[in-house]
Each structure stands twice: as C-alpha cells, then as structure tokens.
Amino acid sequence: MDIDLILRVYPFFLEAALVTLELALLTTILGLTCGSLGAAARMSRSRILRLIGATYVSIFRGTPALIQVFILYFGGPQVGIQLDSFAAGTIALGVNIGAYMTETIRGAIQSVDKGQTEAARTLGMSRWETMRKVVLPQAMRMMIRPLGVNINALIKGTALVAPISVIELTYTAQRFIGSTYKPFEMFLLAGLIYMAIIYVTGQGIAWLDRKARIT
Amino acid sequence: MSDTAFIEIRNAAKSFGAFEVLKDINLTVDRGQIVAIIGPSGSGKSTLLRAINELDPLTSGEVWLEGVQINRKLPHRQYEKHVNQVRQDIGMVFQHFNLFPHLTVRGNITLAPKMLKGLSTDEANKLAEEQLAKVGLSEKIDEYPSRLSGGQKQRVAIARALAMRPKVMLFDEATSALDPELVEEVNLVMKQLAEEHMTMIIVTHEMDFAASVCDRVLFMDQGVVVEEGPPEVIFQSPENERTRNFLRKHLARANGQA
Ligand SMILES: Nc1ncnc2c1ncn2[C@@H]1O[C@H](COP(=O)(O)OP(=O)(O)OP(=O)(O)O)[C@@H](O)[C@H]1O
Ligand SMILES: [Mg+2]
C-alpha cells in the first residue's frame, strides 16, 4: 500500500469531503421538507392529497436513485429544466430521500397511541391543536432514530452524483485513480472518510435521541 | 325534549359496518344524576359513552346536552367547530388514563384551559393547583406521568377533565386497569364528585361501587338497554332473566377472584 501517495492526495479528498457534507446537509433539509409535506399529504383528509402522497412515495422508492439523478440532470434539459450538476444532484437525492422520510414521519405519527388523540379531542382541542401540542411532540421523539437511518443512507447515497461529475468524494477518488492507477488506496481513503462522516453523524443522532427521551 | 332532561339520547343506533353495536337506545339523565352502565363485554357500553361526545358518532339518533344537540349534521368545518365547543362541556375519563407523557402533571391539566379558554399562565396554574388539591395530589404537580402510580395517573386524568369545568363527566371503566389496591383512591374521588352533584355517566364492572354512588343503573346487553332502575332493584331484584344471569356470573367471578 502506497502510504506516501495517500499522504500526498488526502488534502484533495478532504476538500471533496466538504462537498459531500454540503450535499448531505442540503439533501437532509430538502428530504425533511419533502418528508413532512409527504407525510401530511398521506394522512390528509383529502383523498386527492393522499393519492398524491402515495404516488410520490411509490415512484421515488420504486426506482433507483441513480435513475432519478440521471433523469433530472440528463433528461431535464430536454423538457426545459437546466440545472448544474450539483443542483440536479441535490434535488434528485433530496426528493428521493424525502419519499423514505415521508414513511418514517408518518410511521412515527401513527405510532402515537390513539388514546392521546382521543384525550385531547375530548377536552375540545381541534385536530390541528391536537397534532401540534400532543401528537407531534411525542412523534418527534420517536422519529429521531429512524430518521437517523434515512440520513445514514442518504450520506452513502451522495456517491450517486459522482457519475454526473459533482466533485465530491467518490468522484475525486475516481479522478485520482485515472492519474495514479492505485484504485485500492484511493477507494480506501474515500471509504474511510465516508465512515468518519457517518460515525460522527450517528453519534450526533444518538445524542439527540437520548436528549429527547421522555423522562 | 322534556323539561328536566339534562342529557337526552334518543333512538341511538350505531353500526360498525354490518355489525349493529347499539340498537335504538333511549336514555335521559337529569342534572346532578349519576347513572351507571353495566353489562357484559362487547355489549356496547363504551360505544354508547363515546357516542355522547362524538368520539364514535351514532349512525342514527340524537344526543342532546342542555338543549343543544351534540351530534348535529353540519358541513365539515362547522361540525368541527361545533364538536370542539360542546366537548369542552363533557369531561371524559378513560380506562388507560391517556395522560400526555411529554407534559408534567401541571402541563396536562393546563394545556386545554390555556389553549381553549384563554387562561393566562397564572390563572391556569391556580386552576391546576385547585384541581390537584381536589384529587389529593398537590405535591405531584411538577412530576411527569411516568413517575406516578396508576391510581395517581387516573386522579390526574380526572383533574385534567375537571379543569375544563364540564357539565357532565363520562367514566369508561376508570378503575379497570388499576391494581386492586389502587381502585379505592379513584373511587373516593368519584364519590366526592357525586357529593358535589356532578352529573356522571359511569361504565363500570364494580357493582358495589355502582350500588353505592349511582342513582340509576342501566344493564346493557347486545346493544340494547335490557333493564334499568335504581340500584336496589337492579342488583337485588332484577326482573329480566339476562340481568340475573349477568349478575350471577359476575358475582361468581368476583368471588372466585377474591
Ligand atoms: N371501531 C370499531 N370497529 C368495529 N367494531 C367495533 C369498534 N369499536 C367497538 N366495536 C365492537 O362493538 C362492540 C361493542 O364494543 P364496546 O367497546 O362498546 O363494548 P363494551 O360494552 O364497552 O365492552 P367492554 O366491557 O369489553 O369494554 C364489540 O363487539 C366491539 O368489538
Ligand atoms: Mg368498554
């Protein structure tokens, strides 16, 4: 193993890791937004909204994320959507993970005991007041862990934008392989950095989960 | 509706799909009256109680409280407003307490009065203290529900319902989920409410309790009120064969357990 080479190239990898982090963060934000809207739609009183929510989830969970990235980036211009690779990648991955988060959020909300809603409604609270003051505060605590699983998947999923030339970790590894012919070292280095990111994120989520636990 | 009736249920029927849970039930309760509903499991007691505050709306029939029809047919928005309003007058206590686990005892009691009656934090706190004193749990005001015993939880649930100053209280087997030694503390609170002439409808499996606090007892079976009358009559000389059978079995079971 060529340690010297690793020591020479790792600053470039760290720079690329920042792009990966940025992708992950934006994707998480977009995913949580889509997930919240998706969950609201799926649990709505309106049949049409429920249908829209269900369709969203089945499309984005039912096709490879890579295809979704390709459709937006390569297919977009054909229908007048012109995005640079970073924007296309972020949007495609965010909307994709949002479909998974929809189900996570909905699951957490529905796992709150029905008696909670009944007690609140019996006091005279409206559907929305009940959701906001009774159900959501309990559901939020329960969704931290499963959302953590989604975020873990999303971090690894950021590698899917390498083929559209976003200069993130995986792409950078491939670039250096082209010039060094050392795939083992390059992928190992990228992998270690992914692992570090995922480890730290996982710790953060575990910490949040502990803090949010009901006493 | 008659002059004295405080709560009136007329021709109440309820089906879940093809299954008729309530069949043409009529019931009037006067102000300050305490009515017990007894009957075998699955006879529709909870469903009837939950129909009163529209948790399980009737398929047909009417529910009135002080001259206001609870189950009015209204367009969705108006209906929601209407039920949210009338439910403030109907306190309900559940078998499994349903306290909000993310809020302290104080938070449980003050949430609805603050939100729905516009009470200030000070006013709401005073109200919480007052209601807790009534159920004998003043010292638990800042505890979370998970730190309370079952009996304490149920007393807090009663205080929470009372804090809305309801006109009537509905109890659905309030003591069934409790360890036997914790039943009495909850019964005491209910007895105290009886002395204050709170109008109450109590679904219960505790015949002794029903006999000691209730003005009237209804025996339900298979979705109908089979027999009703004062507790002396229902418990000592019921007319209906089904009532006698139920009480005999119930007594045998209660003795068997003891
Ligand atoms: N949401 C529902 N959907 C379908 N069936 C229901 C529903 N709720 C109640 N039932 C049925 O209606 C019948 C009456 O139920 P209910 O809970 O009113 O009985 P109960 O007299 O309170 O019994 P228990 O003493 O066991 O509490 C039961 O057969 C029950 O299975
Ligand atoms: Mg019941």
Q: Which A-chain residues 53-92 have CB contacts (< 8 A) with chain B?
A: none
Phi, psi values for residue B22, rounded to 5°: -125, 135
Interface of A with B in 156-215 (CB under 8 A): 214-215
* Residue B257 pLDDT exceeds 70: no
pLDDT surpassing 80 at residue B199: yes
In whole angstroms, give the CA distance from residue A177 to residue B235: 89
Give the C-alpha distances (Å, rounded to integers) separating B227 from A14, B37, B223: 81, 10, 12
Determine the pLDDT at residue B1.
45
Of A134, A68, A146, nearest to A106 (Cα)?
Answer: A146
ipTM at complex level: 0.92
Between A and B, how many CB-CB pairs are < 8 A?
66
Please answer whether residues B244 and B64 qualify as being in contact, where contact means their C-beta atoms are separated by less than 8 angstroms.
no
Of B125, B51, B119, B123, the C-alpha closest to B86 is B51
Provide the residue count of chain A: 215
DSSP notation for B15-43: EETTEEEEEEEEEEEETT-EEEEE--TTS
Residues in chain A within 8 Å Cβ distance of B78: none
Report the range of poorest mean pLDDT among A163-167, B188-192, B237-241: B237-241
Q: Are B181 and B130 in contact (CB under 8 A)?
A: no
Residues of B in contact with A124 (CB under 8 A): 84-85, 87-88, 112, 116, 164
User: Alpha helices of B143-206 — where are they, by DSSP H?
Assistant: 150-162, 180-195
Domain of residue A62: give its range.
3-214
Of all protein residues, the one whose alpha carbon is nearest to atom 3 of ligand 1 is B16
pLDDT digits (tens, 9 = 90+) for B119-136: 999 999 999 999 999 999
Please, are residues B206 and B257 in contact by the beta-carbon 8 Å criterion? no
Q: What is the pLDDT along chain A (215 residues), one digit of tens a residue?
A: 788 888 899 999 999 999 999 999 999 999 999 999 999 999 999 999 999 999 999 999 999 999 999 999 999 999 999 999 999 999 999 999 999 999 999 999 999 999 999 999 999 999 999 999 999 999 999 999 999 999 999 999 999 999 999 999 999 999 999 888 999 999 999 999 999 999 999 999 999 999 988 65
Quote the number of domains for chain A: 1
Which pTM value belongs to this model? 0.90
Instruction: Give backbone dihedrals phi and psi of A117, rounded to 5 degrees, phi first.
Output: -65, -45
Chain A residues touching residue B55 (CB < 8 angstroms): 118, 121-122
Of residues B15, B5, B33, B38, the one with CA closest to residue B217: B38
Residue A135: give its domain's CATH number: 1.10.3720.10
Q: Whose CA is nearest to atom 17 of ligand 1?
A: B46
Query: Quick one: tokens of A101?
Result: 């988060």
Could you report the per-residue pLDDT of B14-50, keeping only the tens digit for each? 999 999 999 999 999 999 999 999 999 999 999 999 9
Structure tokens at B221: 């079976």
A122/B55 touch (CB, cutoff 8 Å), yes or no:
yes
- Share of residues in chain B with pLDDT > 70 (%): 97
Q: Is B88 on the interface with A (CB under 8 A)?
A: yes
pLDDT of B258 higher than 50: no
The pLDDT of residue B4 is: 60
Q: Which residues of A133-148 are buried (b: 16+ CB within 10 A; e: fewer)?
A: bbbbbbbebbbbebbb
* CA neighbours closer than 13 Å in the CB half-sphere of residue B258: 6
The pLDDT of B40-66, averaged and rounded, is 95
